[in-house]
Chains A and B, each alone.
Chain A
Amino acid sequence: MTTKAVEGERHTIQVTVNGKRQAAEVDSHTLLVEFLRESFRLTGTHVGCDTSQCGACVVEFEGNSVKSCTMLAVQADGGRITTIEGVGSREALHPMQEAFTECHALQCGYCTPGMVMSACDLVRKNPSPSEAEIRDWLDGNLCRCTGYNNIVRAVSEAAQALASGAQAGVKSGA
């Protein structure tokens, strides 16, 4: 097979990452996940399978959860991105993170950022999901430790906490 030298290109893109608007230069072929991890050191977004199956790389882009390993950084130009670092903080966990902690919904933690990003997207769109709807929504997020039961319970509890007005850093007491 002959390989043809193709000049890569650099593009200047404008993105709003976790509320902060910034410009950056990327190659045409830079993946969104590489851009977030390497340009911004937002290493909470993980690379698992790198084939858009495992969901470890899920971030929020323009209000929807997406797999950042299967999107080019240039495609994000002009858009708003939220990563796990923008969801809560060590001092003030998001109710979804609080519920994951309370329900023991993680063991090794590798899938957790993607799980939380996906679960937050679900409860934004469907504030009181049934167990079947939670399991269905998490179809694109693989966990090899927990067996999923505690994750499903955590998402359900977080949805209830959010519905009763819980906010980041404030324990729901539920």
Chain B
Amino acid sequence: MKPFQYRLAKSVPEAVAALAQIAEARPLAGGMTLIPALKHGLAAPAALVDLGGIASLRGVSFENGELVVGAMTTHAAVAGSPIVNERLPALGRLAGGIGDPQVRHRGTLGGSVANNDPAADYPAGCLGLGATIVTNLRTVSADEFFTGFFSTALAPAEVITSIRFPVPMRAAYVKFANQASRYATVGVFISQSANAVRVAVTGAGRSGVFRAGEMEQALAKDFRPETLPAHCVALDDLNTDLHASAEYRSHLINVLARRAVEACMGAPSRHPVRHGGAYAF
């Protein structure tokens, strides 16, 4: 690993100032992606600005009908939060299915969302719930935040402080997890609220997380698994890699969306449910 400077920020303004002042500085959240990237030489910042010392970035609350999760809240804290599991259990299950227990003890919501890995779970949760990403500068809707493969609307020296999740009538997340990493080979998050159905797909798209418009329209008319269209995303827009072909991912989108609708409808699952395993409802 190449040497770098390390700054522990005590507040958001202090972090932002350090990021603005030091050329090629990067924020360090939980480090579950960034530290491996440093070790592999995939990233070589001049400095890391550690957000881990900012207590105000951690915690969960329920305000004005929305679940507000601090950016530095770990996956384990979200998965174990009574507020999350009462108000939005689908989000708690999503967090509990990321990586493994040790990754969940360090990895954070803000880090995952800012990284926007095309196979990460949280981007699907944000997009599928119509969340609002709150930064030190502004608020950005999830629809505008995720701009492509590992890219977001964040400006340099802009830091996510929290994410606000509207609470829908019902929601579910189902993923087909890679056996080694637990990243989503494909993951589908579906939510139904009074005025909209949202379907967000992660792991499948060549440009990262996306909404499946045809599925949303079908479910808005008739919220049943039978109404979901098959192969509704162009194969050219889907990933092919050593884990799965575009054709297989296309098939999985439909299968997982059906299971997510069934889970929303409260049907007993026909499939094994494991914490952190292949299926997270």
Interface residues of A (CB under 8 A from B): 3-4, 6-9, 11, 27-29, 31, 50-53, 55, 58, 64-67, 70-72, 74-75, 77, 118, 121-122, 132-133, 136-137, 139-140
Contact = CB atoms under 8 A, between A and B. Distances in A.
Nearest to A8: B3
B5 A118 contact: no
Please provide the 9 A-B residue pairs with the shortest distance between their CB atoms, ordered closest to farther.
A140-B100, A8-B3, A28-B6, A64-B105, A139-B100, A29-B1, A67-B102, A70-B35, A140-B102
Main secondary structure of the interface of A (DSSP, over half): mixed
A118 B100 CA distance: 11
A133 to B, nearest CB: 7
A124 to B, nearest CB: 12
Given A4-B46, A29-B38, A75-B50, A118 B6 contact: no
B76 A53 contact: no
A70 B106 contact: yes
A169 B163 CA distance: 48
A70 B32 contact: yes
B6 A65 contact: no
Given A31-B1, A71-B106, 13 more contacts: A6-B4, A6-B5, A11-B6, A28-B6, A52-B32, A65-B105, A66-B106, A72-B35, A74-B50, A75-B28, A133-B275, A136-B275, A137-B101
Contacts of B28: 75
B224 interface: no
Given A29-B38, A72-B35, A132 B3 contact: no
Nearest to B181: A53
A75 B52 contact: yes
B31 interface: yes
28 contacts: A3-B44, A4-B24, A4-B44, A6-B4, A6-B5, A7-B3, A8-B3, A9-B3, A27-B3, A28-B3, A28-B4, A28-B5, A28-B48, A29-B2, A29-B4, A50-B39, A52-B35, A53-B180, A55-B102, A58-B102, A70-B32, A70-B106, A74-B6, A75-B31, A75-B50, A75-B52, A118-B102, A140-B101
Contacts, number: 96
Contacts of A6: 2-5, 46
B3 to A, nearest CB: 3
B35 A9 contact: no
Nearest to A4: B46
B276 interface: yes
A81 B3 CA distance: 24
Given A6-B46, A55-B102, A140-B101, A71 B4 contact: no
Nearest to B1: A29
B175 interface: no
B101 A121 contact: yes
Contacts of B274: 132, 136
A11 B102 CA distance: 25
Interface string B49-91: 0101000000000000000000000001000000000000000
Contact of B103 (A31, A77, A140): A140
A28 to B, nearest CB: 4
